[in-house]
A and B are shown apart, each in its own frame.
Chain A
Amino acid sequence: MAMTIHVDIVSAEKALYSGSAEVVIAPGQRGELGIHPRHTPLLTTLKPGTVRMKLPDQAEEVMIYVSGGILEVQPHVVTILSDTAIRGNDLDEAKALEAKRAAEDAMKNREASLDYAKAQAELAEAIAQLATIEKLRRRI
Chain B
Amino acid sequence: MAAGKEIRTQIKSVENTRKITKAMEMVAASKMRRAQERMKAARPYAEKIANVATHLAYAHTEYKHPFVIARENVRRVGLVIVTSDKGLCGGLNTNALRLVMTQLKQWNAAGVEVDVSAIGNKGLGFMQRLGANVVSQLTGIGDTPRLETLIGPVKIMLDAYMEGRIDALFIVYNRFVNTMKQEPTLTQLLPLAKLASEDEASLKTHWDYIYEPDAQPVVDAMLKRYIESLVYQAVAENIACEQSARMVAMKAASDNAKNVIGELKLIYNKTRQAAITKELSEIVAGAAAV
Q: Interface of A with B (CB < 8 Å)?
A: 8, 10-15, 18, 28-30, 33, 40-45, 69-70, 72, 74, 79, 81, 83-87, 92-100, 102-103
- Chain A minimum-CB-distance residue to B222: A70
- Distance, CA A28 to CA B225, complexed state (A): 17
Nearest opposing residue in chain B for A70, CB measure: B222
B: number of interface residues (CB 8 Å)? 45
Of B44, B136, B155, B208, the residue contacting A93 (CB under 8 A) is B155
| Residue among A14, A29, A69, A95 making CB contact with B155, cutoff 8 Å | A95
A12 and B229 in contact, given A45-B221, A85-B148 (Cβ under 8 angstroms): yes
* Distance between Cα atoms of A85 and B36 in the complex (Å): 22
Q: How far apart are the CA atoms of A111 and B135 in the complex, in Å?
A: 21
Complex Cα–Cα for A83 and B45 (A): 10
Cα A42 to Cα B209 in complex, Å, equals 5
18 sample A-B contacts, Cβ–Cβ < 8 Å, listed by A number: A8-B44, A11-B45, A12-B232, A14-B44, A15-B45, A18-B44, A33-B212, A44-B211, A44-B218, A45-B212, A69-B225, A72-B52, A74-B55, A79-B48, A95-B148, A95-B155, A96-B156, A99-B137
A12-B42, A13-B38, A13-B147 known; A29+B213 contact, CB < 8 A: yes
Q: Can you name the residue of chain B whose Cβ is closest to the Cβ of A74? A: B55
**A10-B42 Cα distance, complex, nearest whole Å:** 9
**Nearest chain B CB to A8 CB, angstrom units:** 6
User: Which residues of chain B in 113-159 are interfacial with respect to chain A, using CB atoms and an 8 Å cutoff?
Assistant: 117, 134-139, 146-149, 151-153, 155-156, 159
